[in-house]
Amino acid sequence: MTRIKNQNEIEDTGLSSKFQTRTQRIIKRDGSFNVRKTGIPRLESFNLYHYLINISWSRFFLLALLFYVIINLIFTLFYYAAGPEHLGIETDLGTLHAFMNSFFFSAQTLTTVGFGRVNPQNSWTNIIATLEAGVGLMVFAVATGLLYGRFSRPVTNMKFSTNAIITRWADNLTAFQFRIANAFNTEMMDAEIQIIASWLEPADDGTELRKFFNLKLEYARIVFFPTVWTVNHIINDESPMYGKTIEELNKQEAEFLILFKAYDDTFAQTVNARFSYRHDEVVYGAKFKRIIIIDESGKSQVALDHMSDYEKAEM
Amino acid sequence: MTRIKNQNEIEDTGLSSKFQTRTQRIIKRDGSFNVRKTGIPRLESFNLYHYLINISWSRFFLLALLFYVIINLIFTLFYYAAGPEHLGIETDLGTLHAFMNSFFFSAQTLTTVGFGRVNPQNSWTNIIATLEAGVGLMVFAVATGLLYGRFSRPVTNMKFSTNAIITRWADNLTAFQFRIANAFNTEMMDAEIQIIASWLEPADDGTELRKFFNLKLEYARIVFFPTVWTVNHIINDESPMYGKTIEELNKQEAEFLILFKAYDDTFAQTVNARFSYRHDEVVYGAKFKRIIIIDESGKSQVALDHMSDYEKAEM
Amino acid sequence: MTRIKNQNEIEDTGLSSKFQTRTQRIIKRDGSFNVRKTGIPRLESFNLYHYLINISWSRFFLLALLFYVIINLIFTLFYYAAGPEHLGIETDLGTLHAFMNSFFFSAQTLTTVGFGRVNPQNSWTNIIATLEAGVGLMVFAVATGLLYGRFSRPVTNMKFSTNAIITRWADNLTAFQFRIANAFNTEMMDAEIQIIASWLEPADDGTELRKFFNLKLEYARIVFFPTVWTVNHIINDESPMYGKTIEELNKQEAEFLILFKAYDDTFAQTVNARFSYRHDEVVYGAKFKRIIIIDESGKSQVALDHMSDYEKAEM
Amino acid sequence: MTRIKNQNEIEDTGLSSKFQTRTQRIIKRDGSFNVRKTGIPRLESFNLYHYLINISWSRFFLLALLFYVIINLIFTLFYYAAGPEHLGIETDLGTLHAFMNSFFFSAQTLTTVGFGRVNPQNSWTNIIATLEAGVGLMVFAVATGLLYGRFSRPVTNMKFSTNAIITRWADNLTAFQFRIANAFNTEMMDAEIQIIASWLEPADDGTELRKFFNLKLEYARIVFFPTVWTVNHIINDESPMYGKTIEELNKQEAEFLILFKAYDDTFAQTVNARFSYRHDEVVYGAKFKRIIIIDESGKSQVALDHMSDYEKAEM
């Protein structure tokens, strides 16, 4: 199980398939989609805000630093062209000295620190400084906005059971089950699960096509989600899975795509997580162990490190 | 009734149970969940944003102060290493003097105040100061963002009647009722209630298991919520409570979990509140008193200090 | 019609009733609720964020100025106690001079302007200044956050027809209609109307009680809302209004409460507006005039200044 | 296909109609509405926040610069009235010099740079500066808030197939289809399409009226939207389009309005896009080509540059 926060950071830690498969999984175990879109020019598919929100923290800070240096260099060129002596910089200590002190003055203006020892003393330098102060406020507004936007971005840390199981249900039916729990301490309300089963079926032209089917759940929504939820799809005659054997599911490279949504009380909005179980991550003939107990003081307690535990069961 | 704002601050002020109970309540009267999750490593369940949004105001300001001091100390070490004389600090007044003035200079740079009497005068101190100004803007962006995020966080102040009641309904039925009102002056729209009844039932293996049942409401949603809402669940043959006596509810340690949602006009988003009534907070054979009157000027008036008032009634 | 933005600013500009009425209207024509809640202590019903977001702009700026002055005065007392000479202020020009310059220095530090002529020169003044700079950033974060929060707050400018009408529908039915249009230039999607009819009915104990009924609409939701929407409730035998005469509606002081919701493309969220028609604002036997025309260039055009226009019609 | 971001920027790039039409399209190909609202005074329909969020970037920066200059000029007048010598400006270098340096000082105060060489030295200039620093923080809060609000505004880049098609469905039915794909790299969940068909029909009074009809979709919502979605409306006897020939659709100037909504994972909220197909953009008797393939490594791949490709098909 992996923490679903930044799609670009997480490696797929799913189990390697025991079978030689013709297709890769559609949703990786970190929740990202494993689909390649071609035919869109790089420029058209690029969105600056998406990019800056999604990149890793190290890349973000590197870009911020680079941008900080570059924008200061641009203004430094302006100050240098206007004459560094008009900033009160000694020009007889060499070009490098004048350039560097112009650079430092630029940074002091851009960030509005404004120490003042070096300061604009003629109209041109004053005009550049006036502009730079305004530009600095705008630029840092975006940078700091992005920083806080990244920091306060809704994230989830949903634990999914390592395996999904097919278990016995009532007299002569089976059920597809998995478990989900919230590893964070935040409260979640109105949790909702949607499962899309998918497998390969023959197409009209002799090739294979991946088909998608909605699986109806016993409970698709639960009001409160304080502990662990054992999600249950009863495989009755309404289910697309009815009558399918495990061999068929393997041969057809079945994959069960899961979308989890809930209202997170701290982010004060709906959050979501995605996951999937491949056919070789589904255990046939098992039963999840009970993990909610009532302790000595009468308080409900759930052992999340055992949420994947199952025992073999007769079918 | 308690103000539901910060789960960590509010003590459970609910009435102590008249009965010896085997289980604790699931939702405390302040709306927080009374469930313990074990098996997740501290690091995995920790989310910095959640933590900083949820801690008490005193703890937040203490952390902010601590962080402010520490980050200044770090930069002070850099300035001291670069030589405090390059900041214009007199070095012949002792190490403490040089260190403290470097510290003060660091704070002036980090906060971008930049008085300027003490100021960087060689390349190294200038580079550190340039970096510190940038870092300061970023750091304060997060701190001030969190401050405003905490301040503007959607909160509710829902008053629930001290007791829920079971009252007579129509000829031969009963109804489970409680009252809810908005103690704040904000307008609420599309208010929605969900009630989950829960009690202990015997499990297959001889132990007891807590079961959960959705209670269908006469009105689950109301469009406008300007005064008080008497929430009503009719105990007909479709209700999970049908046929249950008060003794059974006590013995099975029944608890009625309530989720309230509404759109708050000032926060311009959906807010929620949670509450619960334990079996010993439910009064059998009562009727809520009328509290909405029309005053002399024809204006509707509701006395919220009497919203919990009930009178005994024949069943 | 009034602009629904800040409930506290708008006066009720509704038509005065032609009848002596026993009750006031529930929703004023500016969308605010006309209900008085008693029994909650002032402190408990007060929420600082709600208050600061909802007060008028003039009151907000006055409070901001007051707070700015007060917080500076507090720090001025500290600087004065530490000795204004340690800020470089001449103490031989009198107490007022020293106090005022300490005040100005405090403002320069709080706002991080930090001119530097007056600056802290001993440990105590430096410590106070260091704290004040940090406090200033935090305080201004909240103030500026509130300012932008108020400025960017979702508002609507929905125009409602002056009157609602009861018009002929099909062979032998009538319909309750009114019109709504968006006076702003923003795009709205998924617009939704809910109408709650209410009137006085006799209660069990001889008094009168105001009852509320949901009116089912021909179309409760429309996908696109670019022009004007004539909202239509058909008074068939399922309607609570079926069989009611205009005299009954007047005698029972009927009021039709309206909640409008839509997704606003610029605020990128759902916005809402509230309105109501009292029995004496409903015209019986009328028909709204057609106001959507197609101009010479083939473009749809709607004359919103005629949206309230109706003509008498046979019933 | 155009990028739907700022309605004022995008030109309608739709195909010019092959037919002489009596009406213009309702939704332009960039998603904006082609309706003119008259009768609202300019002042009443104006909303400052909408305006500042929606104008082009160049216009925004121009306004920001203008406002920056003007507010500085206002304060400059105050400083000049108070006497520029009290800012430490040499008054014997001429009025222009004094005025300009007052202006630069104003900018340094407004932006809180506060170099300090020029600084307030008497009470009046100090009071003005104290006010200006506070005003500056407020003003820049709004400016920078707007800047980041514009930058982080939810946008979509949905590609729609150039044409919609009417294709054969099952034995003796047809279906109305078009394709939509997300050109951005963000993940989208719970995508939803609504189609409103509209065409001219004769009205009671002899003129023509544009009528609107909801088209029921085979799938109105899909849980995951990683690649391309072929939206499908089956023209059975429940469809408003049942029995309509292409000639009728042309004569009645049919237009198919499309609203797309989905949850965008990066903006962490619902986004939407609008589009429309005019009768002459609908191809009768075609079939979309297959564009999702599974590459050599087993990964799903979709060629979005071919999403509009269709081949003629027998009907």
C40-66: pLDDT as tens digits = 888 888 999 999 999 999 999 999 999
- What integer pLDDT is reported at residue A199 of this predicted model? 93
Q: Which helix (H) or strand (E) holds A200?
A: strand A188-202
Return d(Cα D8, Cα D60) in angstroms, integer.
13
DSSP letter for each residue of B71-83: HHHHHHHHHHHH-
Instruction: Say whether both C162 and C292 belong to one domain.
Output: yes
Q: Is residue B56 part of a domain?
A: yes
Site of tokens 């398939």:
A17
Residue B20's pLDDT band (boundaries 50, 70, 90)?
low
The answer to whether the CB of B289 falls within 8 A of the CB of B311 is yes
- What average pLDDT does range D74-101 have in this prediction? 89
A66, D278 Cβ separation under 8 angstroms = no
Q: Which of A147, A151, A263 sits opposite B49 (nearest CB)?
A: A151
What distance in Å separates residue B245's CA from the closest CA in chain A? Answer: 23
Q: 3-class SS at A177?
A: strand
Q: C165 and C187: one domain? A: yes
> Going by DSSP bridges, is the β-strand pair C300-303/D35-38 parallel, antiparallel, or unpaired?
parallel
Alpha-carbon gap, residue A112 to B193, rounded angstroms: 51
Against chain B, the chains showing at least 3 CB pairs within 8 Å are: A, C, D
Read off the CATH number of the domain in which A214 is found. 2.60.40.1400
- Average pLDDT for residues A18-45, to the nearest whole number? 82
The strand ranges marked E within chain C are 35-38, 158-160, 164-169, 173-182, 188-202, 208-215, 221-224, 228-235, 255-264, 269-278, 282-284, 286-288, 292-294, 300-303, 310-312
Residue C293 in domain: yes
- In single-letter form, the type of residue at position A214 comes to N
- CB within 8 Å: A116 and C112: no
The overall average pLDDT reported for chain C is 87
Task: Check CB contact under 8 Å for B121 and A116.
Answer: no
Burial of C315 (0-12, 13-18, 19+ CB in 10 A): exposed
* Mean pLDDT computed over C214-221: 89
User: Scanning every residue of chain B, which has its alpha carbon at the shortest distance from the alpha carbon of D109?
Assistant: B113
> Has residue A58 been placed in a domain?
yes
pLDDT of residue B58: 96
What chain B residue is nearest to C153 in terms of C-alpha separation? B268
* Residue D8 C-alpha, separation from nearest chain B C-alpha, in angstroms: 27
Closest approach of A82 to chain D, Cα-based (Å): 16
Share of chain A above pLDDT 70, in %: 94
**Contact: C22, B298; criterion CB under 8 Å:** yes
Q: Could you give the CA distance from residue C198 to residue C20 in angstroms, rounded to a whole number?
A: 18
pLDDT top residue among A59 and A226:
A59
pLDDT greater than 90 at residue B31: no
Kindly state the helix (H) or strand (E) to which residue D98 belongs, with its residue range: helix D95-110
Region A167-187 average pLDDT: 92
Q: Which of A10-14, A134-138, B116-120, D179-183 bottoms out in mean pLDDT, i.e. has the lowest?
A: A10-14
Residue C122 is part of a domain; what is its CATH number?
1.10.287.70
Please, which residues have CB within 8 angstroms of residue D42's CB and are 6 or more apart in sequence? none
pLDDT at D9 over 50: no
Kindly tell me if the per-residue pLDDT of C10 is higher than 60. Answer: no
Domain that holds residue D296: 158-312
Distance CA B256, CA B241 (A): 11
Q: What is the pLDDT of residue D16?
A: 33
Do the chains contact at D116 and B116, CB–CB below 8 Å?
A: yes
pLDDT of D17 higher than 70? no
Q: Per-residue pLDDT for A33 more than 90? A: no
Element housing D133 (H / E): helix D123-151
How far does C302 lie from chain A, in Å, by closest CA?
Answer: 37
DSSP output for C274-303: EEEEEGGGEEESEEEPP-EEE-TTS-EEEE
The answer on pLDDT for C12 being more than 50 is no
Percent of chain C with pLDDT strictly greater than 90: 59
Query: Does D280 lie in the same domain as D178?
Result: yes
Q: Quick check: B116 and D112 CB within 8 A?
A: no
Contact (CB<8Å) D47/C185: yes
CA D209 to chain A, closest CA, distance in angstroms equals 39
Q: How far apart are the first and last CA of chain D?
A: 28
Direct distance between the N- and C-terminal alpha carbons of chain A, in angstroms, rounded to an integer: 28
Query: How many Å is the maximal CA-CA distance in chain B?
Result: 96
Contact D195, D182 (CB under 8 A): no
Which of A93, A127, A152 lies at the terminal end of a domain, its last residue? A152
Backbone φ and ψ of D142, nearest 5°: -65, -45
Least trusted range by pLDDT, from B17-26, C212-221, D49-58: B17-26
Higher pLDDT, D314 or D254: D254
Domain-located, residue A3: no
pLDDT of residue A108: 92
Last residue of a domain, one of D137, D152, D167: D152
* Same domain, yes or no: D181 and D300: yes
Residue D78, H or E segment: helix D57-82
* Cβ-nearest to B116 among A107, A115, A157: A115
Give yes or no for residue A78 having a pLDDT over 90.
yes
The sign of the CA dihedral D67, D71, D77, D80 is negative
Buried/exposed D172-206: b ≥16 CB within 10 Å, e otherwise: eebbbbbbbbbbbbbbbbbbbbbbbbbbbeeeeee
Q: Which amino acid is at D8?
A: N
Residues B167 and B299 in one domain: yes
Query: What is the pLDDT averaged over residues B53-82?
Result: 94
Does C97 share its domain with C243? Answer: no
* Chain C residues whose beta carbon lies within 8 Å of the beta carbon of residue A112: 112
* Of D21, D134, D145, Cβ closest to residue C152: D145
Q: Please list, in sequence order, all residues whose beta carbon lies within 8 angstroms of the beta carbon of residue D36, skipping any fewer than 6 positions away.
A: C295, C299, C300, C301, C302
d(CA D142, CA C106): 24
Q: Which residue has the tokens 């730079």?
A: A132
Nearest to D268 by CA among D190, D191, D154: D154
Sequence-separated (6 or more) residues with CB below 8 Å from residue B27? A224, B33, B34, B255, B257, B258, B274, B275, B276
Mean pLDDT of B15-30: 68
Classify D30 in phi/psi space as left (phi over 0), alpha (psi -120 to 50) or beta. Answer: alpha
C134: Cα separation from own chain's centroid: 35
Least confident of B6-10, B268-272, B302-306: B6-10
Please tell me the distance from the alpha carbon of residue C113 to that of residue D128, in angstroms, as a whole number: 13
A294-303, B260-269, C4-13, range with the lowest pLDDT: C4-13
From the list A71, D91, D35, the residue with the least C-alpha distance to B130 is: A71
* pLDDT at B8 exceeding the cut of 80: no
Beta strand D255-264 pairing with D286-288: unpaired
Q: What is the DSSP letter of A201?
A: E
How far apart CA C201 and CA C212 sit, in angstroms, is 10
- The pLDDT of C237-247, averaged and rounded, is 93
Residue A1's pLDDT band, with cuts at 50, 70 and 90, is: very low
Same domain, yes or no: A168 and A290: yes
B8-17, B187-196, C109-118, D262-271: which has the minimum mean pLDDT? B8-17
Asked if the model's pLDDT at residue A18 lies above 80, the reply is no
Is residue C294 pLDDT above 60, yes or no? yes
* C24 within some domain: no
Per-residue confidence at A20, pLDDT binned at 50, 70, 90? Answer: low
pLDDT recorded at residue D90: 81
Q: Which amino acid is at D115?
A: F
Going through C65-205 in order, the beta strands assigned E by DSSP cover 158-160, 164-169, 173-182, 188-202
Q: Is residue B19 part of a domain?
A: no
Q: Please tell me which chains touch D, using 3 or more CB pairs under 8 Å as the contact test.
A: A, B, C
pLDDT > 70? residue A5:
no
| Same domain, yes or no: B266 and B163 | yes
Residue D4 in any domain: the answer is no
Statement: residue A245 has pLDDT above 80: yes
| pLDDT number for residue B95 | 87
Question: Is C116's CB within 8 Å of A115's CB?
Answer: yes
Q: Please identify which residue in the block is written with the tokens 């959050």.
A: A271
Residue type, C74: I
Residue by residue, DSSP assigns A52-109 as HHHS-HHHHHHHHHHHHHHHHHHHHHHHHHH-GGGGT--GGG-HHHHHHHHHHHHHHH
CA–CA gap between residue C158 and residue C188 (Å, rounded) = 11
In a shared domain, residues D88 and D209: no
Q: Which two tokens stand for residue A37?
A: 């879109």
What pLDDT, on the 0 to 100 scale, is given for residue D20?
Answer: 58
Check D269 against A274: CB less than 8 A apart. no
Q: Do D305 and A40 touch (CB under 8 A)?
A: yes
pLDDT at A247: 92
Q: Which residues contact A167 (CB under 8 A, 6 or more apart)?
A: A174, A175, A177, A285, A286, A287, A288, A313, A315
pLDDT at B11 over 50: no
Decide which of A221 and A277 is more confident.
A277
pLDDT in tens, D156-207: 999 999 999 999 998 899 999 999 999 998 889 999 999 999 999 987 778 7
Output the six-digit token pair for D79: 């400083």
In the numeric block, which tokens belong to residue C69?
Answer: 């002055």
CA-to-CA dists, residue A10 to A1, A308, B220, C212, D53, angstroms: 11, 21, 42, 54, 35
CB atoms within 10 A of CB B76: 22
Domain count, chain A: 2
**D175 and D276 in one domain?**
yes
**How many Å apart are CA B207 and CA C56, to the nearest integer?**
61
Of D97, D44, D36, D34, the residue nearest D276 (C-alpha): D34
Q: In this structure, are residues B198 and B213 in contact, taking their beta carbons and an 8 Å threshold?
A: yes
pTM of the predicted structure, to 2 decimals: 0.86
- Structural domain ending residue among the three candidates B152, B186, B212: B152
Give domain status of residue B306, yes or no: yes
A-C contacts at Cβ under 8 angstroms: 5
Which whole-number Å values give the CA distances from B135 to A103, B73, B149, in the listed order?
17, 14, 21
- Residue among C115, C135, C287, C309 with most chain D CBs within 10 A, to mutate: C115
Q: How far is A301 from chain B (nearest CA, A)?
A: 5
Answer yes or no: is pLDDT of B260 > 70.
yes
* Cross-chain Cβ contact B23/A226 below 8 Å: no
pLDDT value at residue B107? 93
CB contact under 8 A, A114 and B116: yes
> What pLDDT was estimated at residue D171?
82
Number of helices (H), then strands (E), in chain B: 6, 15
Residues B102 and B220 reside in one and the same domain? no
Environment class of B169 (CB within 10 Å of its CB; exposed 0-12, middle 13-18, buried 19+) = middle
pLDDT, average across residues D31-45: 86
Mean pLDDT over residues A125-141, rounded? 92
Residues B140 and B182 grouped into a single domain: no
More confident residue, D300 or B70: B70
Of the candidates C217, C221, C219, the one whose C-alpha atom is nearest the C-alpha of residue C241 is C217
Give the mean model confidence (pLDDT) for residues D265-282: 93
